[in-house]
Amino acid sequence: MSESQLEAVSGEARELLVDLVETPSVSGEEGPCARKLADFFEEHGREVWIDEVGNVHAPGDDGVLLTSHIDTVPGDIPVRIESTESGDELWGRGSVDAKGPLAAMAIVAVRTGASFLGVVGEEVDSRGSRHAVTVRESAPDTLINGEPSGWNGITLGYRGLLGGTYVATSESGHSSRPENNAIQDAIDWWSAVEAEFEPDEWVPVFERVTPKPTEFDGGISRDGLSVEATMEVQLRVPPEYTVDEVREIADGHLDGGTVHWYDRVEPVMMSPRTSVARAFRAAIRGCDGEPRLLRKTGTSDMNVFADHWDCPMVTYGPGDSDLDHAPDEHLELDEYDRSVQVLETATQRLLEEA
């Protein structure tokens, strides 16, 4: 970066953000970025360690646990500062999802003494959060998960996820025969699942079950004796359902194939009247903002934490989530600064109340 660009990242909070964004951490390769985080806490005299799966733990006051994920999706976006009429922007993979929230959580953990957890693998299988809930002795009093919500947004809910692999096999035969082959069985099953969850057009996306095939492979087997079909599928699950209820409905339409359900994450919806939601509303108003209560149609580590820990939680962080995974991912630095202020105010209030 040029000297003029470096001026835009002056201050510890911005310097940490740029340091993390400049350190690639695609899922499965989070080690160098995790080390940067650990070094930051060591420099501030905090106990810190990296566990066997790569999570960064900096225990502190468990009145609040601040957590976000270290990994990013692939994508090479040159790290740079661009000046616009509305202010400076930091461009780079992960600037929004989720190194902006991650850096904010780390800064505020140091300033307030709150506990901190940086997790790996959120973009793939949430292996970091799944591991963390098994090794911690108890739940925190409050959890704040870091994902982009905008500096004045508070995310209260996420849909769940059911993922599986459908497999069907049929005897090979001439294509003129009327009997279904495995490919038709797969198509018929998925069509029935989609029809089962066909929404009323007035139902918000968050409240729908959204079926989505993500991969398909089919054709004659190598030995030429059968027709095979394999399909990877995902269903997003709203709080109206449990994952098991959606699985039972989907299984009920099987005829000629089987499904191995390998990924399940329960939906989560938190009340806007919890202590942590109130603290954020007050902190946002204190920065002259109007709080926005959000429900996200995807899934995050908050789902995993909520499934294991009975404590109030929200998701919060700077950035426009429409830029998640995008080729133009960038974060407004003024928004980042304001989110750090909001997060610090809310965290301090919660620690004083604990």
C-alpha dist (Å) from residue 98 to 70, 231, 243, 319: 7, 30, 26, 9
Point out the catalytic residue in the list 30, 88, 97, 122: 122
Omega before 346 cis (within 30°)? no
Cβ partners under 8 Å of residue 128, min gap 6: 53, 54, 55, 69, 70, 71, 119, 120, 121, 122, 301
**pLDDT, tens digit, for every residue of 130-154?**
999 999 989 999 999 999 999 999 9
Other C-beta atoms closer than 10 Å to the C-beta of 24 total: 17
**pLDDT, tens digit, for every residue of 31-90?**
999 999 999 999 999 999 999 999 999 999 999 999 999 999 999 999 999 999 989 999
Cβ partners under 8 Å of residue 322, min gap 6: none
pLDDT score of 221: 80
76 carries an active-site annotation? no
324 carries an active-site annotation? no
Point out the catalytic residue in the list 30, 62, 71, 141: 71
Structural domains present in the chain? 3-159+268-353 (3.40.630.10), 166-265 (3.30.70.360)
Nearest C-alpha neighbor of 239 from the set 208, 276, 196, 202? 208
Report whether pLDDT(29) > 80: yes
Report whether pLDDT(217) > 60: yes
pLDDT score of 113: 98
Average pLDDT over residues 166-195: 84
pLDDT score of 179: 75
Report whether pLDDT(6) > 80: no
Report whether pLDDT(180) > 90: no
